A = this chain, B = another copy of it.
Amino acid sequence: MDTKTAREKLASHQKRTSAFLHAIELLNFDGATSAPRGAAPARAETLSTLSGELYAISTSNEVNETLSYLDSVKDELTEEERRIVYLLRKDSKKFAKIPRELFVAYRAQIVRADDVWHKAKEASDYAMFAPELEKVFTMTREISGYIEPDSDPYDCCLHEYEEGLESRTLDVFFDKLRVKISPLLNEISKARRPDNGIRSGFFPVEDQQKLSRRLMNVIGLDPDHVVLSTTEHPFTISLGSHLDERITTHYYENDFASSMYSVIHEGGHALYETGCSDNYVFTVLDGGASMSIHESQSRFYENIIGRSRAFCDLIFPDLQKIFPEQMKGYTSDDLYRSVNRVEPSLIRTEADEVTYCFHIMIRYELEKSLMRGELTVGDLPGEWNRLYREYLGVDVPNDKEGVLQDTHWSGGLIGYFPSYALGNAYGAQFYKKMKSEVDVEKCVLNGNFAPINEWNRNNIWQYGKLYTPAELSRRVFDGEFDPDVYVEYLTEKYSDIYGL
Protein backbone atom coordinates (compact mmCIF):
# COMPACT_ATOMS: atom_id res chain seq x y z
CA MET A 1 0.00 0.00 0.00
CA ASP A 2 1.09 3.61 -0.49
CA THR A 3 -0.06 6.63 1.46
CA LYS A 4 -2.17 8.05 -1.36
CA THR A 5 -4.14 4.83 -1.75
CA ALA A 6 -4.49 4.48 2.01
CA ARG A 7 -5.83 8.01 2.27
CA GLU A 8 -8.42 7.29 -0.42
CA LYS A 9 -9.44 4.11 1.34
CA LEU A 10 -9.69 6.00 4.61
CA ALA A 11 -12.02 8.59 3.06
CA SER A 12 -14.21 6.01 1.41
CA HIS A 13 -14.38 3.93 4.59
CA GLN A 14 -15.55 6.96 6.55
CA LYS A 15 -18.15 7.83 3.92
CA ARG A 16 -19.40 4.28 4.06
CA THR A 17 -19.67 4.19 7.84
CA SER A 18 -21.27 7.65 7.84
CA ALA A 19 -23.97 6.32 5.54
CA PHE A 20 -24.70 3.39 7.85
CA LEU A 21 -24.72 5.64 10.89
CA HIS A 22 -27.01 8.04 9.04
CA ALA A 23 -29.49 5.23 8.41
CA ILE A 24 -29.20 3.83 11.93
CA GLU A 25 -29.68 7.20 13.60
CA LEU A 26 -32.58 8.05 11.30
CA LEU A 27 -34.27 4.77 12.24
CA ASN A 28 -33.84 5.70 15.90
CA PHE A 29 -35.07 9.25 15.37
CA ASP A 30 -38.04 8.08 13.33
CA GLY A 31 -38.87 5.53 16.00
CA ALA A 32 -39.15 8.34 18.56
CA THR A 33 -41.04 10.76 16.32
CA SER A 34 -43.15 9.33 13.47
CA ALA A 35 -43.12 5.54 13.43
CA PRO A 36 -46.32 3.65 14.23
CA ARG A 37 -46.17 1.64 17.46
CA GLY A 38 -46.59 -1.71 15.73
CA ALA A 39 -43.48 -1.17 13.64
CA ALA A 40 -41.03 -1.52 16.52
CA PRO A 41 -40.26 -5.24 15.98
CA ALA A 42 -39.54 -4.63 12.28
CA ARG A 43 -37.36 -1.65 13.15
CA ALA A 44 -35.45 -3.82 15.61
CA GLU A 45 -34.75 -6.30 12.81
CA THR A 46 -33.49 -3.60 10.48
CA LEU A 47 -31.34 -1.99 13.15
CA SER A 48 -29.82 -5.36 14.00
CA THR A 49 -29.01 -6.04 10.39
CA LEU A 50 -27.50 -2.63 9.70
CA SER A 51 -25.51 -2.69 12.95
CA GLY A 52 -24.19 -6.08 11.94
CA GLU A 53 -23.10 -4.68 8.57
CA LEU A 54 -21.40 -1.77 10.28
CA TYR A 55 -19.69 -4.15 12.65
CA ALA A 56 -18.41 -6.22 9.73
CA ILE A 57 -17.14 -3.17 7.89
CA SER A 58 -15.41 -1.69 10.92
CA THR A 59 -13.64 -4.91 11.79
CA SER A 60 -12.79 -5.97 8.23
CA ASN A 61 -9.23 -6.90 7.32
CA GLU A 62 -9.14 -4.29 4.61
CA VAL A 63 -9.98 -1.47 6.99
CA ASN A 64 -7.57 -2.78 9.60
CA GLU A 65 -4.76 -2.98 7.08
CA THR A 66 -5.41 0.56 5.91
CA LEU A 67 -5.46 1.87 9.46
CA SER A 68 -2.34 -0.05 10.47
CA TYR A 69 -0.51 1.21 7.42
CA LEU A 70 -1.48 4.81 8.14
CA ASP A 71 -0.49 4.40 11.75
CA SER A 72 2.93 3.22 10.58
CA VAL A 73 3.43 6.40 8.53
CA LYS A 74 2.03 8.70 11.23
CA ASP A 75 4.66 11.34 10.63
CA GLU A 76 3.44 11.94 7.08
CA LEU A 77 -0.10 12.57 8.28
CA THR A 78 -1.78 15.80 9.27
CA GLU A 79 -2.95 16.36 12.84
CA GLU A 80 -6.52 15.61 11.67
CA GLU A 81 -5.53 12.39 9.94
CA ARG A 82 -3.62 11.14 12.95
CA ARG A 83 -6.67 11.71 15.14
CA ILE A 84 -8.95 10.00 12.60
CA VAL A 85 -6.70 6.95 12.46
CA TYR A 86 -6.53 6.85 16.25
CA LEU A 87 -10.30 7.09 16.71
CA LEU A 88 -11.09 4.55 13.99
CA ARG A 89 -8.57 2.05 15.31
CA LYS A 90 -9.94 2.43 18.79
CA ASP A 91 -13.47 1.73 17.54
CA SER A 92 -12.41 -1.12 15.33
CA LYS A 93 -10.50 -2.81 18.16
CA LYS A 94 -13.43 -2.30 20.50
CA PHE A 95 -15.90 -3.81 18.03
CA ALA A 96 -13.66 -6.75 17.34
CA LYS A 97 -13.68 -7.70 21.01
CA ILE A 98 -17.48 -8.01 21.10
CA PRO A 99 -18.96 -11.13 19.48
CA ARG A 100 -21.02 -10.04 16.49
CA GLU A 101 -24.12 -11.92 17.70
CA LEU A 102 -24.04 -10.07 21.00
CA PHE A 103 -23.46 -6.74 19.30
CA VAL A 104 -26.44 -7.29 17.00
CA ALA A 105 -28.71 -8.72 19.69
CA TYR A 106 -27.93 -5.71 21.87
CA ARG A 107 -29.06 -3.29 19.13
CA ALA A 108 -32.37 -5.15 18.84
CA GLN A 109 -32.77 -5.20 22.61
CA ILE A 110 -32.38 -1.42 22.78
CA VAL A 111 -35.26 -0.94 20.34
CA ARG A 112 -37.45 -3.34 22.29
CA ALA A 113 -36.56 -1.78 25.64
CA ASP A 114 -37.23 1.70 24.34
CA ASP A 115 -40.59 0.63 22.92
CA VAL A 116 -41.62 -0.96 26.21
CA TRP A 117 -40.31 2.04 28.19
CA HIS A 118 -42.70 4.33 26.29
CA LYS A 119 -45.64 2.11 27.17
CA ALA A 120 -44.50 1.55 30.75
CA LYS A 121 -43.98 5.26 31.36
CA GLU A 122 -47.43 6.02 30.00
CA ALA A 123 -48.91 3.42 32.35
CA SER A 124 -46.48 4.27 35.19
CA ASP A 125 -45.82 0.54 35.34
CA TYR A 126 -42.24 -0.33 36.28
CA ALA A 127 -42.98 -4.07 36.37
CA MET A 128 -43.70 -3.93 32.65
CA PHE A 129 -40.31 -2.36 31.98
CA ALA A 130 -38.14 -4.28 34.45
CA PRO A 131 -37.48 -7.43 32.35
CA GLU A 132 -36.35 -5.30 29.39
CA LEU A 133 -34.14 -3.14 31.59
CA GLU A 134 -32.69 -6.24 33.17
CA LYS A 135 -31.63 -7.46 29.72
CA VAL A 136 -30.13 -4.08 28.84
CA PHE A 137 -27.98 -4.08 31.97
CA THR A 138 -27.02 -7.73 31.61
CA MET A 139 -25.96 -7.27 28.01
CA THR A 140 -24.11 -4.05 28.82
CA ARG A 141 -22.21 -5.85 31.58
CA GLU A 142 -21.42 -8.66 29.18
CA ILE A 143 -20.20 -6.23 26.50
CA SER A 144 -18.12 -4.33 29.05
CA GLY A 145 -16.54 -7.62 30.05
CA TYR A 146 -15.45 -8.18 26.47
CA ILE A 147 -14.19 -4.66 25.85
CA GLU A 148 -12.31 -4.11 29.10
CA PRO A 149 -12.08 -7.46 30.87
CA ASP A 150 -9.83 -6.04 33.59
CA SER A 151 -11.73 -2.84 34.35
CA ASP A 152 -14.67 -1.96 36.49
CA PRO A 153 -17.66 -2.57 34.18
CA TYR A 154 -19.08 0.86 34.99
CA ASP A 155 -15.83 2.58 34.02
CA CYS A 156 -16.11 0.85 30.67
CA CYS A 157 -19.56 2.45 30.25
CA LEU A 158 -18.16 5.85 31.14
CA HIS A 159 -15.55 5.52 28.40
CA GLU A 160 -18.32 5.43 25.80
CA TYR A 161 -18.99 9.09 26.51
CA GLU A 162 -15.71 10.35 27.95
CA GLU A 163 -12.32 8.93 27.10
CA GLY A 164 -10.41 7.85 30.17
CA LEU A 165 -13.01 8.96 32.68
CA GLU A 166 -13.11 6.83 35.84
CA SER A 167 -15.64 6.53 38.60
CA ARG A 168 -12.88 7.30 41.12
CA THR A 169 -12.61 10.75 39.55
CA LEU A 170 -16.36 11.14 39.49
CA ASP A 171 -16.69 10.12 43.13
CA VAL A 172 -14.37 13.00 44.05
CA PHE A 173 -16.14 15.38 41.67
CA PHE A 174 -19.61 14.62 42.98
CA ASP A 175 -18.43 14.70 46.61
CA LYS A 176 -17.07 18.17 46.03
CA LEU A 177 -20.32 19.33 44.45
CA ARG A 178 -22.37 17.83 47.25
CA VAL A 179 -20.23 19.34 49.99
CA LYS A 180 -20.19 22.77 48.39
CA ILE A 181 -23.71 23.03 46.98
CA SER A 182 -25.55 21.57 49.98
CA PRO A 183 -24.91 24.60 52.21
CA LEU A 184 -26.03 26.92 49.40
CA LEU A 185 -29.20 24.91 48.93
CA ASN A 186 -29.71 24.98 52.66
CA GLU A 187 -29.41 28.76 52.79
CA ILE A 188 -31.75 29.15 49.83
CA SER A 189 -34.40 26.93 51.37
CA LYS A 190 -34.58 29.29 54.35
CA ALA A 191 -35.11 32.33 52.10
CA ARG A 192 -38.39 33.44 50.59
CA ARG A 193 -39.25 31.40 47.51
CA PRO A 194 -40.00 33.52 44.41
CA ASP A 195 -43.53 33.46 43.06
CA ASN A 196 -44.15 31.02 40.24
CA GLY A 197 -47.46 32.43 38.98
CA ILE A 198 -46.09 33.50 35.61
CA ARG A 199 -45.51 29.85 34.70
CA SER A 200 -48.94 28.62 35.69
CA GLY A 201 -51.88 28.99 33.34
CA PHE A 202 -52.81 27.43 30.02
CA PHE A 203 -50.32 27.65 27.15
CA PRO A 204 -51.69 26.03 23.97
CA VAL A 205 -49.23 23.88 22.03
CA GLU A 206 -49.60 25.95 18.87
CA ASP A 207 -48.56 29.09 20.74
CA GLN A 208 -45.65 27.29 22.34
CA GLN A 209 -44.60 26.22 18.84
CA LYS A 210 -44.42 29.90 17.90
CA LEU A 211 -42.20 30.46 20.92
CA SER A 212 -39.99 27.54 19.84
CA ARG A 213 -39.48 29.09 16.41
CA ARG A 214 -38.63 32.42 17.97
CA LEU A 215 -36.13 30.81 20.38
CA MET A 216 -34.43 28.85 17.61
CA ASN A 217 -34.08 32.05 15.66
CA VAL A 218 -32.81 34.06 18.63
CA ILE A 219 -30.01 31.70 19.59
CA GLY A 220 -28.92 31.51 15.96
CA LEU A 221 -29.84 28.04 14.74
CA ASP A 222 -29.67 27.65 10.96
CA PRO A 223 -33.12 26.50 9.75
CA ASP A 224 -31.52 24.99 6.66
CA HIS A 225 -29.79 22.44 8.84
CA VAL A 226 -31.75 22.19 12.11
CA VAL A 227 -35.38 21.20 12.55
CA LEU A 228 -37.54 20.68 15.63
CA SER A 229 -39.91 17.77 16.31
CA THR A 230 -41.84 16.69 19.38
CA THR A 231 -41.12 13.53 21.38
CA GLU A 232 -41.86 12.01 24.77
CA HIS A 233 -38.35 12.97 25.91
CA PRO A 234 -36.40 15.85 24.32
CA PHE A 235 -33.13 15.00 22.56
CA THR A 236 -30.75 16.03 19.77
CA ILE A 237 -29.47 13.77 17.04
CA SER A 238 -27.14 14.28 14.06
CA LEU A 239 -28.15 12.33 11.00
CA GLY A 240 -25.11 11.31 9.01
CA SER A 241 -23.28 14.59 9.49
CA HIS A 242 -23.70 17.99 11.12
CA LEU A 243 -25.56 19.14 8.00
CA ASP A 244 -28.68 17.42 9.34
CA GLU A 245 -29.53 18.12 12.95
CA ARG A 246 -32.78 17.20 14.62
CA ILE A 247 -33.80 18.59 17.98
CA THR A 248 -36.95 17.65 19.84
CA THR A 249 -39.06 19.01 22.64
CA HIS A 250 -42.09 18.02 24.70
CA TYR A 251 -44.92 20.51 25.24
CA TYR A 252 -46.81 20.76 28.53
CA GLU A 253 -49.78 23.05 28.24
CA ASN A 254 -49.63 23.99 31.91
CA ASP A 255 -46.04 25.32 31.76
CA PHE A 256 -44.43 27.06 28.80
CA ALA A 257 -41.02 27.11 30.48
CA SER A 258 -40.53 23.35 30.25
CA SER A 259 -40.44 23.26 26.47
CA MET A 260 -38.79 26.68 26.31
CA TYR A 261 -35.71 25.43 28.14
CA SER A 262 -35.74 22.10 26.30
CA VAL A 263 -35.59 23.96 23.00
CA ILE A 264 -32.69 26.12 24.20
CA HIS A 265 -30.90 23.11 25.70
CA GLU A 266 -31.23 20.94 22.59
CA GLY A 267 -30.53 24.03 20.49
CA GLY A 268 -27.19 24.32 22.29
CA HIS A 269 -26.31 20.77 21.23
CA ALA A 270 -27.31 21.59 17.66
CA LEU A 271 -25.27 24.81 17.65
CA TYR A 272 -22.23 22.81 18.70
CA GLU A 273 -22.73 20.21 15.97
CA THR A 274 -23.55 22.63 13.16
CA GLY A 275 -20.57 24.76 14.21
CA CYS A 276 -18.17 21.92 13.44
CA SER A 277 -15.82 22.53 10.53
CA ASP A 278 -17.46 21.59 7.22
CA ASN A 279 -14.21 19.86 6.31
CA TYR A 280 -15.09 17.20 8.86
CA VAL A 281 -18.33 16.13 7.15
CA PHE A 282 -18.29 12.34 6.52
CA THR A 283 -15.29 11.90 8.79
CA VAL A 284 -15.13 10.53 12.29
CA LEU A 285 -14.10 14.00 13.53
CA ASP A 286 -17.59 15.36 12.84
CA GLY A 287 -19.45 16.01 16.09
CA GLY A 288 -18.42 17.00 19.59
CA ALA A 289 -15.31 16.29 21.67
CA SER A 290 -17.20 14.25 24.25
CA MET A 291 -20.61 14.18 25.85
CA SER A 292 -19.51 16.33 28.79
CA ILE A 293 -18.28 19.01 26.39
CA HIS A 294 -21.53 18.59 24.49
CA GLU A 295 -23.54 19.12 27.65
CA SER A 296 -21.35 22.09 28.53
CA GLN A 297 -22.77 23.76 25.43
CA SER A 298 -26.40 22.73 25.87
CA ARG A 299 -26.43 23.62 29.55
CA PHE A 300 -24.58 26.88 28.81
CA TYR A 301 -27.34 28.04 26.45
CA GLU A 302 -30.09 26.66 28.66
CA ASN A 303 -28.91 28.03 31.99
CA ILE A 304 -26.01 30.43 31.90
CA ILE A 305 -27.58 32.28 28.97
CA GLY A 306 -31.24 31.21 28.99
CA ARG A 307 -31.80 31.68 32.72
CA SER A 308 -29.87 34.97 32.87
CA ARG A 309 -31.53 38.29 33.66
CA ALA A 310 -30.51 39.62 30.24
CA PHE A 311 -32.18 36.75 28.41
CA CYS A 312 -35.37 37.15 30.43
CA ASP A 313 -35.40 40.85 29.50
CA LEU A 314 -34.83 39.93 25.87
CA ILE A 315 -37.50 37.25 25.58
CA PHE A 316 -40.23 38.68 27.81
CA PRO A 317 -41.70 40.95 25.09
CA ASP A 318 -42.04 37.84 22.88
CA LEU A 319 -43.85 36.03 25.66
CA GLN A 320 -46.17 39.01 26.01
CA LYS A 321 -46.87 38.90 22.29
CA ILE A 322 -47.46 35.14 22.17
CA PHE A 323 -49.29 34.83 25.52
CA PRO A 324 -50.88 38.28 26.02
CA GLU A 325 -53.49 37.13 28.52
CA GLN A 326 -51.26 34.80 30.48
CA MET A 327 -48.49 37.42 30.90
CA LYS A 328 -50.82 40.15 32.11
CA GLY A 329 -49.56 41.71 35.33
CA TYR A 330 -46.14 40.07 35.12
CA THR A 331 -42.71 41.55 34.32
CA SER A 332 -39.46 40.18 33.00
CA ASP A 333 -38.22 40.21 36.56
CA ASP A 334 -41.03 37.78 37.49
CA LEU A 335 -39.86 35.57 34.66
CA TYR A 336 -36.26 35.72 35.85
CA ARG A 337 -37.19 34.87 39.43
CA SER A 338 -39.58 32.14 38.40
CA VAL A 339 -37.19 30.27 36.10
CA ASN A 340 -34.54 30.46 38.82
CA ARG A 341 -36.80 29.35 41.61
CA VAL A 342 -34.86 26.74 43.58
CA GLU A 343 -36.99 23.88 44.74
CA PRO A 344 -36.17 20.22 45.30
CA SER A 345 -38.38 18.35 42.84
CA LEU A 346 -39.03 15.08 41.09
CA ILE A 347 -38.12 15.63 37.46
CA ARG A 348 -34.50 16.11 36.41
CA THR A 349 -35.17 17.96 33.15
CA GLU A 350 -37.36 20.49 35.00
CA ALA A 351 -34.92 21.00 37.86
CA ASP A 352 -33.34 24.34 38.71
CA GLU A 353 -29.58 24.80 38.47
CA VAL A 354 -28.91 24.38 42.18
CA THR A 355 -30.72 21.07 42.70
CA TYR A 356 -29.89 19.70 39.23
CA CYS A 357 -26.63 18.01 40.18
CA PHE A 358 -28.35 16.05 42.94
CA HIS A 359 -30.61 14.45 40.32
CA ILE A 360 -27.47 13.39 38.47
CA MET A 361 -25.75 12.08 41.60
CA ILE A 362 -28.75 9.84 42.29
CA ARG A 363 -28.60 8.35 38.79
CA TYR A 364 -24.83 8.04 39.02
CA GLU A 365 -25.01 6.07 42.25
CA LEU A 366 -27.75 3.84 40.87
CA GLU A 367 -26.22 2.97 37.51
CA LYS A 368 -22.82 2.40 39.10
CA SER A 369 -24.36 -0.04 41.58
CA LEU A 370 -26.41 -1.74 38.88
CA MET A 371 -23.39 -2.23 36.63
CA ARG A 372 -21.35 -3.60 39.51
CA GLY A 373 -24.13 -6.00 40.46
CA GLU A 374 -24.54 -4.36 43.86
CA LEU A 375 -28.13 -3.44 43.06
CA THR A 376 -30.76 -5.45 41.19
CA VAL A 377 -33.18 -4.10 38.65
CA GLY A 378 -35.98 -5.28 40.92
CA ASP A 379 -34.68 -3.13 43.79
CA LEU A 380 -34.12 -0.09 41.60
CA PRO A 381 -37.41 1.82 42.17
CA GLY A 382 -37.14 1.47 45.93
CA GLU A 383 -33.56 2.67 45.89
CA TRP A 384 -34.46 5.51 43.52
CA ASN A 385 -37.17 6.69 45.88
CA ARG A 386 -34.92 6.34 48.92
CA LEU A 387 -32.20 8.47 47.32
CA TYR A 388 -34.69 11.15 46.27
CA ARG A 389 -35.73 11.39 49.88
CA GLU A 390 -32.15 11.42 51.12
CA TYR A 391 -30.63 13.83 48.57
CA LEU A 392 -33.57 16.08 47.80
CA GLY A 393 -36.05 15.47 50.56
CA VAL A 394 -38.90 14.67 48.17
CA ASP A 395 -41.27 11.72 48.11
CA VAL A 396 -41.71 10.01 44.74
CA PRO A 397 -45.45 9.41 44.27
CA ASN A 398 -45.18 7.03 41.29
CA ASP A 399 -42.66 5.47 38.91
CA LYS A 400 -43.66 7.69 35.98
CA GLU A 401 -42.32 10.67 37.91
CA GLY A 402 -39.61 8.49 39.37
CA VAL A 403 -37.47 5.79 37.90
CA LEU A 404 -39.34 5.76 34.56
CA GLN A 405 -38.89 9.47 33.82
CA ASP A 406 -35.70 9.30 31.74
CA THR A 407 -35.17 7.62 28.40
CA HIS A 408 -31.44 7.01 28.87
CA TRP A 409 -31.29 3.51 30.31
CA SER A 410 -33.92 2.13 27.95
CA GLY A 411 -31.83 3.54 25.11
CA GLY A 412 -28.68 1.88 26.39
CA LEU A 413 -27.08 5.15 27.53
CA ILE A 414 -25.63 3.77 30.74
CA GLY A 415 -22.82 6.01 31.93
CA TYR A 416 -24.19 9.09 30.18
CA PHE A 417 -25.71 10.95 33.15
CA PRO A 418 -22.43 12.22 34.64
CA SER A 419 -21.90 14.16 31.39
CA TYR A 420 -24.62 16.60 32.44
CA ALA A 421 -22.91 17.45 35.71
CA LEU A 422 -19.46 17.62 34.12
CA GLY A 423 -21.02 19.77 31.40
CA ASN A 424 -22.36 22.21 33.95
CA ALA A 425 -18.89 22.60 35.37
CA TYR A 426 -17.13 22.85 31.99
CA GLY A 427 -19.73 25.36 30.86
CA ALA A 428 -19.09 27.64 33.83
CA GLN A 429 -15.37 27.55 33.19
CA PHE A 430 -15.79 28.29 29.47
CA TYR A 431 -18.14 31.11 30.39
CA LYS A 432 -15.64 32.69 32.76
CA LYS A 433 -13.13 32.82 29.93
CA MET A 434 -15.70 34.01 27.37
CA LYS A 435 -16.74 36.90 29.61
CA SER A 436 -13.17 38.15 29.63
CA GLU A 437 -13.35 38.56 25.86
CA VAL A 438 -17.02 39.18 25.00
CA ASP A 439 -19.63 41.42 26.65
CA VAL A 440 -22.02 38.52 26.96
CA GLU A 441 -24.71 40.37 28.89
CA LYS A 442 -24.92 43.17 26.34
CA CYS A 443 -25.04 40.71 23.43
CA VAL A 444 -27.91 38.79 25.02
CA LEU A 445 -29.82 41.97 25.91
CA ASN A 446 -29.58 43.06 22.27
CA GLY A 447 -30.51 39.62 20.95
CA ASN A 448 -27.16 39.63 19.18
CA PHE A 449 -25.90 36.08 19.65
CA ALA A 450 -23.32 36.25 16.88
CA PRO A 451 -20.33 37.21 19.08
CA ILE A 452 -21.23 34.51 21.62
CA ASN A 453 -21.66 31.85 18.96
CA GLU A 454 -18.49 33.00 17.20
CA TRP A 455 -16.51 32.64 20.40
CA ASN A 456 -17.82 29.14 20.93
CA ARG A 457 -17.25 28.25 17.29
CA ASN A 458 -13.67 29.53 17.32
CA ASN A 459 -12.77 27.96 20.63
CA ILE A 460 -14.82 24.77 20.74
CA TRP A 461 -17.25 23.88 17.96
CA GLN A 462 -15.08 23.98 14.88
CA TYR A 463 -12.71 21.33 16.24
CA GLY A 464 -15.25 18.52 16.40
CA LYS A 465 -13.52 15.48 17.87
CA LEU A 466 -10.02 16.65 17.00
CA TYR A 467 -9.06 17.15 20.64
CA THR A 468 -9.80 15.20 23.79
CA PRO A 469 -11.92 17.09 26.36
CA ALA A 470 -8.78 17.70 28.41
CA GLU A 471 -6.79 19.03 25.44
CA LEU A 472 -9.67 21.16 24.25
CA SER A 473 -10.42 22.72 27.62
CA ARG A 474 -6.75 23.38 28.31
CA ARG A 475 -6.64 25.29 25.02
CA VAL A 476 -9.70 27.29 25.98
CA PHE A 477 -9.14 28.23 29.59
CA ASP A 478 -5.39 27.80 29.90
CA GLY A 479 -5.59 25.51 32.89
CA GLU A 480 -7.13 22.42 34.38
CA PHE A 481 -10.77 21.50 34.81
CA ASP A 482 -11.94 23.09 38.05
CA PRO A 483 -15.48 22.50 39.35
CA ASP A 484 -15.02 25.29 41.90
CA VAL A 485 -15.67 27.76 39.10
CA TYR A 486 -19.12 26.26 38.74
CA VAL A 487 -19.78 26.44 42.46
CA GLU A 488 -18.69 30.10 42.41
CA TYR A 489 -21.03 30.79 39.51
CA LEU A 490 -23.96 29.22 41.36
CA THR A 491 -23.15 30.92 44.64
CA GLU A 492 -22.86 34.36 43.11
CA LYS A 493 -26.01 34.07 41.01
CA TYR A 494 -28.26 32.61 43.68
CA SER A 495 -26.93 34.75 46.51
CA ASP A 496 -28.06 37.70 44.48
CA ILE A 497 -31.49 36.29 43.67
CA TYR A 498 -32.16 35.09 47.19
CA GLY A 499 -30.45 37.97 48.97
CA LEU A 500 -28.13 35.67 50.89
Contact = CB atoms under 8 A, between A and B. Distances in A.
Contacts of A22: 27, 42-43, 46
Interface residues on A, range: 35 or more
Contacts of A30: 26, 30
A39 B282 contact: no
Contacts of A50: 19-20, 23
Given A23-B23, A34-B229, A36-B227, A45 B15 contact: yes
A283 B15 CA distance: 29
Interface in A4-53: 15-16, 18-20, 22-23, 26-27, 30, 33-39, 41-43, 45-46, 49-50, 53
Contacts of A53: 53
Contacts of A243: 38-39, 41-42
A206 B204 CA distance: 13
B222 A34 contact: no
Interface in A151-187: none
Q: Which of A39, A206, A225 has the most CB of B within 10 A?
A: A39
DSSP class of A's interface residues: helix, strand, loop or mixed?
Answer: helix
Interface in A389-448: none
A271 interface: no
B245 A15 contact: no
B49 A224 contact: no
Contacts of A15: 45, 49
B36 A226 contact: yes
A49 B225 contact: no
Given A19-B50, A27-B23, A34 B246 contact: yes
A119 to B, nearest CB: 12
A219 interface: no
A490 to B, nearest CB: 36
A151 to B, nearest CB: 33
Contact of A225 (B27, B39, B227, B282): B39
Contacts of A27: 22-23, 26
A290 interface: no
Contacts of A281: 42
A36 B227 CA distance: 6
A314 to B, nearest CB: 25
Contact of A36 (B23, B26, B45, B244): B244
Nearest to A242: B42
Contacts of A34: 33-34, 227, 229, 246
A131 interface: no
A73 to B, nearest CB: 27
A241 interface: yes
A240 interface: yes
Nearest to A57: B53
A464 to B, nearest CB: 15
Given A36-B245, A245-B36, A240 B282 contact: no
Nearest to A239: B39
Contacts of A35: 227, 239, 244
B33 A46 contact: no
A240 B46 contact: yes
A223 interface: yes
Contact of A38 (B39, B49, B224, B229): B224
Nearest to A37: B224
Contacts of A19: 45-46, 49-50
Interface string A350-367: 000000000000000000
Contacts of A33: 34
Nearest to A223: B36
Given A26-B26, A36-B224, A45 B244 contact: no
Contacts of A39: 225, 239-240, 243-244
Given A23-B23, A42-B243, 8 more contacts: A35-B239, A37-B223, A38-B222, A38-B224, A38-B243, A42-B240, A42-B282, A45-B240
Give the 8 A-B residue pairs with the shortest CB-CB distance, closest first: A38-B224, A39-B244, A19-B49, A23-B23, A19-B46, A22-B46, A38-B225, A42-B243
23 contacts: A15-B45, A15-B49, A16-B49, A18-B45, A18-B49, A19-B45, A19-B46, A19-B49, A22-B42, A23-B23, A33-B34, A34-B34, A34-B246, A36-B223, A36-B226, A36-B227, A36-B244, A37-B223, A38-B222, A41-B243, A42-B241, A42-B244, A43-B244
